[in-house]
Amino acid sequence: MIDVSELVRPDEGLINPSIYTDPEVYELELERIFARSWLFLAHDSQLPKAGSFVQAYMAEDPVLVVRQRDGSVKAFLNQCRHRGMRICRTDEGVARAFTCSYHGWGYNLAGELVNVPMRERAYHNEIDPAEWGPRPVPRLHHHRGFYFGTWDEEAPPFDAYLGDMAWYFDAMADRYDEGLTLVPGATKWVIDCNWKFAAEQFCSDMYHVPFSHASAFTALVDDPGVVARMTEAQLTQPGRQFSGNGHGSGFGLRPDIVPHQVGPEFDAWLTANRERIHGRLGEQRARNVHGHNTVFPNFSWLDINNTMRVWHPRGPGQMEVWAWTYVPKGAPEEAVREIRQATIRTFSPAGVFETDDGENWTEIQQVLRGHMARRTLLNARMGLGHEKHGTDGMPGQVTDDMYSEMAARGMYRRWADLMSGLTWQQIAELDRSRQREEEVRTP
Ligand code: FES
Ligand SMILES: [Fe+2]
């Protein structure tokens, strides 16, 4: 039996590193975190027409997300009910139906079993196809072009689940009049580390940037003085961090939304569209909410680098990253090319920042092979007791520095709530009482 209070103590900023290595913890995560949370499945631009489909994962469970003839979207477990083969083995495409490649059971776009070969001879007509369709994802939600799904009928509605994070999410998803589009295809690769290192870093960690990425800044910019200047800017720039419902966002307060440092064409496009962007989001939000983000548990994005990704768990010591580059719909081709190139250089399997991050995570995972290392508590106390509320009219719990681990503690708090087996209703009550306590503490 797992005692979750032995694993993380968010209020004291303590992490037992066995949460990154213990197979029993991992199994429980699949059940209590991933089978109960809202998970990112697909973006509208991946499903342009009836029959468009894309593979996704909900943790280790493969699912197929399909645009229906009526324009709606359905998702179902990509598992044939005959012997469990993947119903569709293609990453994405357009289909009229799906046929299992093992014995040929056939499914329609809605995931209903519609054809069983040799139904009379082999099954004596005794099989009822209505009973043997793949398991549907029972709840889907469409938020500003993004489809999320959950297996859990008891999970709060998506809007309540997202909570105040919606304001930060929409600063990305709702930034441009025409919306976003994903550059076709996902980049997928494996990193030998626990998924929480990545989810937590994107949720909460600006602190590593001036140190871990100092060499990346040198590689990117052909100017010997740049590291000192960039590091100086990183160290002195004011910023904010948001935490709520396990989600997190952090950003430096920016003098303006341009220059974006992606390239001259994209900068020019942003400048030309500045009024419209400010009009949609409000000037402060458009300028500032532009940093690192995680929607609990494993969907993250970086506004500055136009990358979004899911950290699919693959056992305690491994994850599979699925990353997409997103661009404003309707941006000129040359601007899109610049964004793609900048994303490849920074956040892709060989990107200069990505490899810095992966190096840290795999190294920690290696250290945690040690018997003693796995039993030695880690410090997540940055800013503990100094959290502020409602800084600058930003919604939710916002602290007045981007160098904080408030959001990491928030993520582990939600993780612990779910891992303890509390119902969503109990968690909601707990959240309310926490908020009351917090209001008493910081009026
Ligand atoms: S496993 Fe799919 S038809 Fe047999
Ligand atoms: Fe990083």
Roughly what angle, to the nearest 10 degrees, separates helices 274-281 and 264-272?
60
Ligand 1 geometric centre to CA of 85 (Å): 6
Ligand 1 atom nearest the C-alpha of 104 is: 3
Does the CA dihedral 427-433-439-442 come out positive or negative?
negative
In one letter, which amino acid is 194? N
Give the sheet arrangement for strand 113-115, strand by strand: 98-99, 106-107, 113-115
Report whether residue 102 contacts ligand 1, using a CB cutoff of 6 Å.
yes
Q: What angle do CA 389, 392, 395 make, to 5 degrees?
A: 60
Specify the pLDDT at position 370. 98
378 Ramachandran zone, left/alpha/beta (phi>0; psi -120 to 50)? beta
342, with CB counted inside 10 A (0-12, 13-18, 19+), is: buried
Distance, CA of 358 to CA of 194 (rounded, Å): 11
The catalytic residues are 103, 205, 208, 213, 357
Q: Which domains does the chain have, with CATH numbers?
A: 4-36+163-441 (3.90.380.10), 39-142 (2.102.10.10)
Instruction: Pick from 103, 113, 116, 119 the residue to mutate for probing ligand 1's pocket: most ligand atoms within 8 Å of its CB.
Output: 103
11, 124 contact by CB (below 8 A): no
Distance, CA of 31 to CA of 324 (rounded, Å): 27
- Give 42-84 as a DSSP string: EEGGG--STTEEEEEEETTEEEEEEE-TTS-EEEEES--TTT-
Distance, CA of 375 to CA of 373 (rounded, Å): 5
- Give 248-304 as a DSSP string: EEEEEPPS-S---SS-HHHHHHHHHTHHHHHHHH-HHHHHH--SEEEETTTEEEETT
Instruction: Pick from 78, 79, 83 the residue to mutate for probing ligand 1's pocket: most ligand atoms within 8 Å of its CB.
Output: 83
Question: What stretches in the chain show pLDDT beneath 70?
Answer: 255-261, 442-443
Helix (H, G, I), strand (E, B) or coil at 379: strand
Distance, CA of 296 to CA of 299 (rounded, Å): 7
* Residue 434 structure tokens: 């926490």
Ligand 2 geometric centre to CA of 212 (Å): 7
Helix (H, G, I), strand (E, B) or coil at 408: helix
276 Ramachandran zone, left/alpha/beta (phi>0; psi -120 to 50)? alpha
Of all protein residues, whose CA lies closest to atom 4 belonging to ligand 1?
Answer: 103
Burial string for 150-183 (b: 16+ CB within 10 Å, else e) reads bbeeebbebeebbbbbbbbbbbbbbbbeebbbbb
Distance, CA of 243 to CA of 413 (rounded, Å): 11
Specify the pLDDT at position 66. 98
Distance, CA of 419 to CA of 403 (rounded, Å): 27
**β pairing state of 39-43 and 52-58:** unpaired
Ligand 1 atom nearest the C-alpha of 87 is: 2
* Nearest residue to 413 (alpha-carbon basis) of 425, 426, 427, 400: 427
Specify the pLDDT at position 230. 76
Beta-bridged to residue 147, according to DSSP, are 42, 142
207, 407 contact by CB (below 8 A): no
